[in-house]
Amino acid sequence: MKIFLCDNRLGGLLGFRIDIIRHFIAAGHEVTLIAPPSVTEWDKVGEELPQGVRVITIMMEPAGMNPLNELKLYQEYLSIFRKEKPDIVFNYTIKPNIYSTLAARRCGCRVVCMLAGLGYMFDGKSFLKSMGLKLYKYALSKAEKVLVLNQMNYDRIVEEHFVSPNKLHLLRGG
């Protein structure tokens, strides 16, 4: 099976997801990581890739909110998924949860999203954040499963009808 993991930092995948990456490799799956190129020390955390893992770099500004750059990011994911045809895509962090999810679903891929925290999209009242939150809600509705790491986030997502409860799963213990 072709499994893709997408994050806004390579260090996030290699620092926090290394056990699942190794599990997938040991089970005989083809694993590809998609993230921006390493630019900070945090990005380089655990940069030692397990044998057989590929990395595809994308152009992403993790905290940027320029609509043209966001459209380019979506198109970049779309191009990758059309070419690579992954069986399942796991997304971590806000931008992959939005743009990778929409692109992967458009290409017929299964998608699982994880929300480690609710992030900056849930704070503040600006127009761009309001539009971003609506896009986030729409994208998560396209995911097969949405995983959260704490009860507070689970409760808020349910209360705000952000995701259908049958798709939402609380991962106890991280």
Q: Which domains does the chain have, with CATH numbers?
A: 2-170 (3.40.50.2000)
CA distances from 153 to 10, 37, 118 (A): 24, 30, 7
CA distances from 17 to 20, 24, 77, 82 (A): 6, 11, 20, 25
* pLDDT tens digits along 66-118: 889 999 999 999 999 999 999 999 999 989 999 999 999 999 999 999 998 76
Question: Which residues share a beta bridge with 56?
Answer: 34
Distance CA 28, CA 22 (A): 10
Task: Please name the helix (run of DSSP H) or strand (run of DSSP E) that holds residue 141, with its range, or none.
Answer: helix 127-141
* pLDDT tens digits along 123-167: 666 776 677 788 889 999 999 999 999 888 898 888 888 899 999
Alpha helices in 64-116 (DSSP H): 67-84, 94-95, 101-106
- Token pair, residue 45, equals 């955390």
The yes-or-no verdict on residue 22 having pLDDT over 60 is yes
SS3 state at 131? helix
pTM here is: 0.90
Burial of 49 (0-12, 13-18, 19+ CB in 10 A): middle
Q: Which amino acid is at 140?
A: L
